[in-house]
Amino acid sequence: MRRQFCLSLAVAVMLAAPATDISAAAPATEAPKTPAVRPDAIPDREETLSILRRSASAEVARLKGIEDGAAPRRFGVSTNWISATFFVGAMKLTQTTDAPDVLDYGLSTARRFNYGHQGDGAPVHLINADDQAIGDLYQAIYLHTGSPGTLLPLKQRLDYTLPYLTLSPQPKKLVWWWCDSLFMAPPVLARMSAITGDPKYIQAMDVQWWRTYERLYDTEQHLYARDERFIERRSPNGKKIFWARGEGWVLAGLARVLEVMPEDFPTRPRYIALYREMAARIASLQQADGLWRSSLLDPDAFPEPETSGTAFYTYALAFGINHGILERDKYLPHVLKGWAGLNQYVLPSGILGQVQSAGDQPVPTRRETTALYASGGFLLAGLEVANLGRPVSALPIKLPEPAQLQYHASDMRPTVIPANATPEQLKELARREAEREAVKLLAFDPMVDDPAYISPVAAKR
């Protein structure tokens, strides 16, 4: 009876979820791949990167297949939080190892959506953290290309949001009212300050972060309620409900914020203390197989492993080791067990399975269920695991300077002349190329013709 109730509740939650789950990529009859990843030894770096390239490429191939009409489009890519989380991991992968198919797909996706965002024109949507998570992709592309146009829509959206994050007196309702939001928007805001040199983004982030903390953080359990509905709610076994992926969103969000937070930021010690406190609690709840269960304090309610939360925990704990925030001897066994456990649920396709579908609370999981956000978490975890054999590196991580912008004054594509072109075609192609060059000759170009040119994005760099 308890399980029937939970299943019915899970169905209701998924039907009401604001985003579409992109799961069920692999048939249920497939057996899991069993990679040679040991829970008692640091994996070989190149082998780990190979696992990650395979996983990311498999997701890209799957998404391209959907775009070619091979599967329902609702399982495809968009600018929502589901896709955004995949790109967080995917773009970090392309900065670490050669993955041209993954990089090209990130670039083409951003162009396809014109560097835009989920959500219509209603103000409540314009400030939605879930819809700002895709900003991480646009920030990565800006650093890769140096093109300010890739970042301007994000800057506009964040600039609109800032006053609402810092309203005084504090309103009764939170902007970031659910714990997942702490992965979605804060790292984008912190990174925007690092990119532009303007502290207003991280300062506003800081105000709303601690407002959310005051309302949702359980100081006895050292865990976050998913939202205020869950503060008093209990599981069928009478336990407090702390959702595995929800805590994963927070702990991974902390790591991503600390990655770029200035060393002298006034409240940085509070973030470090919170990170360590949560890390200790999460580590204590790991199960014998190296994974965590969907309901952290009531693992018997949903005894199946849950990999999306596990991926974020593995990432965040390994991040702490690699940057000297967490004690290596204490946390390394948890990371190695988590990484080995995750690899037991990588499907033959290379994509991580046993993922909880999109929702807001613990539910059962199935081996064949996949999701882009879990793949993104898996990539983040693996990238940190790949660095476990390297020396500790200090925080913050210095972002690369934006690439030297390569562009033509015209947005017309360069003319390509076919080998078998007819005289008429050659004449038209020559005319087209002359038109393209005329733009370069005649158009005012701020970067060339304005002696006082300042980038509209990185004015203070």
Pick from 312, 287, 301, 296: nearest CA to 243: 296
CA distance 200 to 193: 7
Confirm if 354 and 366 have CB atoms less than 8 A apart: yes
DSSP string, 210-249: HHHHHHHEETTTTEE-SSGGGSS-B-TTS-B--BHHHHHH
CA distance 177 to 366: 29
Catalytic residue among 21, 180, 206, 360: 180
Question: Which DSSP category does 401 fall into?
Answer: P
DSSP string, 45-93: HHHHHHHHHHHHHHHHHHHHHHHTTSS-GGGS--SSHHHHHHHHHHHHH
What residues have CB less than 8 Å from 7, skipping those under 6 apart? 363, 364
Q: Break the chain down into helix, strand, coil percent, rounded to 5.
A: 55, 5, 45
315 conformational bin, left if phi > 0, alpha if psi -120 to 50, beta if neither:
alpha
- Cβ-based neighbour number of residue 461 at 10 Å: 13
CA of 373: how far to CAs of 3, 21, 210, 377, in Å?
26, 9, 25, 6
Pick from 305, 293, 306: nearest CA to 239: 293
- Cβ-based neighbour number of residue 193 at 10 Å: 21
Amino acid identity, position 48: T
- Cβ-based neighbour number of residue 422 at 10 Å: 9
Helix H or strand E segment including 306: strand 305-306
SS (H, E, C) 250-299: HHHHHHHHHHHCCCCCCCHHHHHHHHHHHHHHHHHCCCCCCCEECECCCC
Amino acid identity, position 131: D
Residue 174 has which token pair? 């939170």
CA of 355: how far to CAs of 274, 342, 365, in Å?
27, 10, 6
Residue 175 has which token pair? 């902007």
Residue with tokens 């952290």: 296
Residue 40 catalytic?
no
Q: Which residues are catalytic?
A: 180
